[in-house]
Structure 1
C-alpha cells in the first residue's frame, strides 16, 4: 500500500466527510506529502503502514532545525495526527504512531490590526482615476466593511448581494453561509463598480456572477489580492505586515471598541465558536492596559 494511495483516500475523507475548506485541505495534504518525501529519501522508502513513532520524532526534529515558526510546526503535527488517526479508523493500521506526538506550546496569538486612520491612509493611496483603482477601492471597502476572508471576497457573487435590504450572503468555511449587513457607503461603491467599471470587461462565462474580476474578465486569485494590499500599504507608508485578513481583524476590533456585542461579531465573522471571537476581547484588554500605563497618575510620577 503506497503513500499516494493513502494520501488520496485521506484527501477524499477530509473533503467529503470532514468538509474541509480548500485552503485547509491543501495545507494538510502538503504536510503529509512532505512526510512522504522524507520517508522516501531518508527512511529507505518506509511506507505509511511501517512508519513508527521514533521515525516521526526524527522527522519533526529535522524540520525543527530549519527554524520554522511554532505555529507551522503545530500544524505539521496536527496534519500528521489526523492522517494516522484516519488510517486507524479505516482499519488500515492497528496502532497510531502519532498518538504521543506533542506540538509546541503556543502563546496567545493577537492579530495585527489597523487603526481607522491607517485604513483611511491605505484607501487614500489608491488611484481612483483608473478602473483598476476603483475596483481595488471597492475591494478594500468590502474587506473592511464586511469582515470577509480573502477567499470569501474573491468568491463573492452578485446574486448574493441584496441591495434593497442591505446585506451580503457569504459562503464561508465548510460551506456554511451567513448574512452580513452592508453599509450604505459600501453598497453605493459596489453599485458604481458594477455599472461603471465591471460592465466594461469582456467577462468569462464561468465568472458572470462573480463580483470582483481581473482585467481579463476572470475571477481574481488570492495572491493578487495580497499583492495589491502589500503595494498599497507600502505606498501609504504603514510599517506593519498587512494582509487581507488584517482588514477582517480590524473590522471586528473596531466594532468591539465601539460597543458591539461579541455574539453579533461572532455571527458576522462566521465563527462557529465564541471562543474564536474572544481573541478580540484580549485586543481590547491590551488597549486598556496601555491606557492605564500611559495615563494613570501612579505611572506618571
Structure 2
C-alpha cells in the first residue's frame, strides 16, 4: 500500500495551494487515514491506482458497521474526494474512483438557539467585579452580537477593530477575511475591557495584538470559552445543550426572524454557500402561528 508516500504532497497542496488551516489539513489527512485503516482491517493490499468504486462502497459499509454517523461519513467522503482529485492533478492516478461515490443523505438537525432573555441571563450572571468579568461579558456580546465562531473570537485582534466605522475584520475558515458590523453595546464592553482591565495584564511577547487574554497574558484558548458558556448555563439554569456556537446560531436566527436578508446574513457568517445559511431560517411553531394569525386574511 503506497498511501504514505503521497500524503506529504497532499498536505503541502492543502497548505500552499488551498491555504487551509492546520485544523482543516489535519481533518483531511484523518479522512484518508480512515481509508488506510479500512484496508488494514480487511487485510487488503491495494495500490492507489487499483482502488475502485466498489472498494470505496465497501469502505462506506465498513464505516456504517463501526457506527460512524452519516454526517461524519459525508465529511470523510469529502476528504477522500479532495485527496483523489489531488492525485489526478498530479497524474499519479488516471481515473478518480470517487467520481461516482455518493455521500449518505444527511438529516438536517436544527441547531439549539437561545432567546434574548436567556442571552441576557448569561451576561447578567457574570460577576463584573472580578478581573475577568468584563472580558467575559465582552466575549458573550461578541459571539452573539457579531455571530463569530469561537476560533474567530480567540484570534480577534485589536488592530482589526474599526471603532469609528463600527466594523470588525474577521479571519474565518481558510484564512478568508470578512467585514462584520459590531454594535454599540459590544464596542462599549470591549472598550472597558481593553482600556480598564487588559491594560493591567503582563502581556507575553507576541500576544500584544490579541484582544482576549487569560490571566497569564496569553491568547485565550477555545476550551476556555467553551467552559465559560457551560458554566454560565449551569448558573442560570438553562438546560439546553449550549456552546459558543449556540450564540452564533442565535445571532443568525434572530436576524432572519426579524426580517434580515438571507444574503446579508450569509455574508456576516462567512458561509461559502447560502445553503449553509438556510439552516438558520427555521422558525418555532408559535412564531409561525403568530404570523398566520396576524397577517393571513382568513386567520
Considering the TM-score relative to the shorter chain, is it more than 0.5?
yes
Tell whether 2:10 aligns with 1:10.
yes
Q: Per-residue deviation at 1:19?
A: 2.9
Aligned match of 2:257? 257
Q: Per-residue deviation at 1:41?
A: 4.7
Alpha carbons 1:39, 1:47 under 8 Å: kept: no
Tell me, in whole angstroms, the C-alpha distance in 2 between the residues paired with 1:67 and 1:182: 42
Structure-2 change in CA distance of 1:243 and 1:59 (3 Å): same
- Counterparts of residues 132-143 of structure 1 (less than 5 Å): 132-143=132-143
Alpha carbons 1:88, 1:95 under 8 Å: kept: yes
Tell whether 2:116 aligns with 1:116.
yes
Structure-2 change in CA distance of 1:292 and 1:181 (3 Å): closer
Deviates more, 1:136-145 or 1:8-17: 8-17
Aligned match of 1:107? 107
Alpha carbons 1:31, 1:80 under 8 Å: kept: yes
Residues 168-222 of structure 1: per-residue CA shift (max 9 Å, x gap): 1112223322222221111111111112222222212111100011222111222
Q: Per-residue deviation at 1:157?
A: 0.5
Structure-2 change in CA distance of 1:208 and 1:266 (3 Å): same
Aligned match of 1:299? none
Output the TM-score relative to the length of structure 1.
0.88
Tell me, in whole angstroms, the C-alpha distance in 2 between the residues paired with 1:184 and 1:232: 23
Aligned match of 1:280? 280
Tell me, in whole angstroms, the C-alpha distance in 1 between the residues paired with 2:269 and 2:285: 21
Structure 1 unaligned segments of length 5 or more: list them: 297-301
Structure-2 change in CA distance of 1:259 and 1:42 (3 Å): same
Calculate the aligned-residue CA RMSD, in Å: 2.7
Aligned match of 2:234? 234
Tell whether 2:152 aligns with 1:152.
yes
Aligned match of 1:190? 190
Q: Per-residue deviation at 1:21?
A: 3.8
Tell me, in whole angstroms, the C-alpha distance in 2 between the residues paired with 1:28 and 1:130: 42
